[in-house]
Amino acid sequence: MSYLELPIPSRSEHLWRYTPWSKVHPTQVDAMPEINSANVLLNGELVDAKTNITEISKTDISRAFLVESNSKIHNITIDDSNANSEIQVISEGEMNSCHFHFEVKNSGSIRVRLSGESNWFGISITGNLHGNVNLSFAIVNDLSENTTMLRCEDWDIARDSTLEYGELSMGGSRIKSDIRTYLKGTNSTLMQNIAVNCRDSRIDDHHIEIHHLSGHSNSSLSVKSACSDKGHAIGTGLLVIEENCDQSDAGQVFKNLLLSEKARAEAIPELEVLSDDVSAAHGAASSSVDPEQIHYMMARGFSKDDAQTEIVEGFLISSFAKIKNEHTKAFLIDAISTNIDE
């Protein structure tokens, strides 16, 4: 089915409960605009997307829309000749989008920064980790405060491979992210760490699915959101362990730090476990800044605002404590420090 043949999703669906499709479509839901490609720099060099996408999701409205509105894709291979990729995406004009496919044949790292002043930006990422590789992936959303972003990701992890995943989401006005990972082989591992900073009236909606399709697979998801002013963070997580996936180990935790009376946060982790001999856990917590922490720092010369800023920075930085790749960790932490200081 094409995009225009798909039904508009109902808000009763888990994925669209807090952000209806009409809020992230760039025009009208019954329209299919042609969207220009964003500028992409790969390791400092401007590159064009020349290949057309051949596969389109037949049932998911976000993925169908992104592909049909702009079918050009950047295909990037991580191998001996290109183990580390630095990607900068710059979105300008009224509407921009881009697509990436990563074929990961050897261990390496990918760091992506999103920036620009467009009113609407869309991005889709697909990744295929071959057997016995380790990929450290990081993405930073540093878009203009007026940008609406629609983002979809789909990752496949094969036997004996690990995806170390870090994300900092701080740009744009309304963000809808749908990230799905499929653990397809024995000893496949996902370590996913996400930090969200919602200031002013920023709305950030993350939907994260992790599917264990093989036994002896492992996943860990941590999402930490700091919300101030009228900021609103949403995190919905679906963890699925299929039948015949014994000895799998999975967990997901959502933590929200609320910094004002009008700030809001929703965290809804879900489990669907169809195997018996597994370890699966989930949790969610929301809290405000401890007044004693503020008092302690003010007694040592900080103003109240500066004390709160330091606490928020530490809260977000702690999201990436378990990331092993030092370049990935520095990329994410430097972005937090720059954003907090602005």
pLDDT for 78-123, tens place per residue?
999 999 999 999 999 899 999 999 999 999 999 999 999 999 999 9
Asked whether the CA dihedral 216, 209, 33, 113 is positive or negative, the reply is negative
Helix axes 304-317, 326-341, angle to 10 degrees: 160
pLDDT tier for residue 291 given thresholds of 50, 70 and 90? confident
Please compute the mean of the pLDDT values over residues 260-273 and round it to a whole number: 93
pLDDT at 223 over 80: yes
Residue 56 pLDDT class (50, 70, 90 cuts): low
pLDDT digits (tens, 9 = 90+) for 27-41: 999 999 999 999 999
pLDDT computed for residue 165 by the predictor = 98
Separation between Cα atoms, residue 48 and residue 122, nearest integer Å: 16
Higher pLDDT, 192 or 292: 192
What's the alpha-carbon Rg for the chain, to the nearest Å?
A: 20
Q: DSSP characters for 25-60? A: SSS-TT-----EEPEEEETTEEE---EEP----SS-
DSSP-derived pairing of the beta strands 72-78 and 95-104: parallel
pLDDT of residue 55 exceeding 80, the answer is no
User: What pLDDT was estimated at residue 212?
Assistant: 98
| 176: its two tokens | 């809808």
In terms of pTM, does the model score above 0.75? yes
Q: Which pair of structure tokens corresponds to residue 180?
A: 């799905």
* Nearest alpha carbon to residue 328 among 178, 154, 149, 139: 139
pLDDT the model gives residue 186? 97
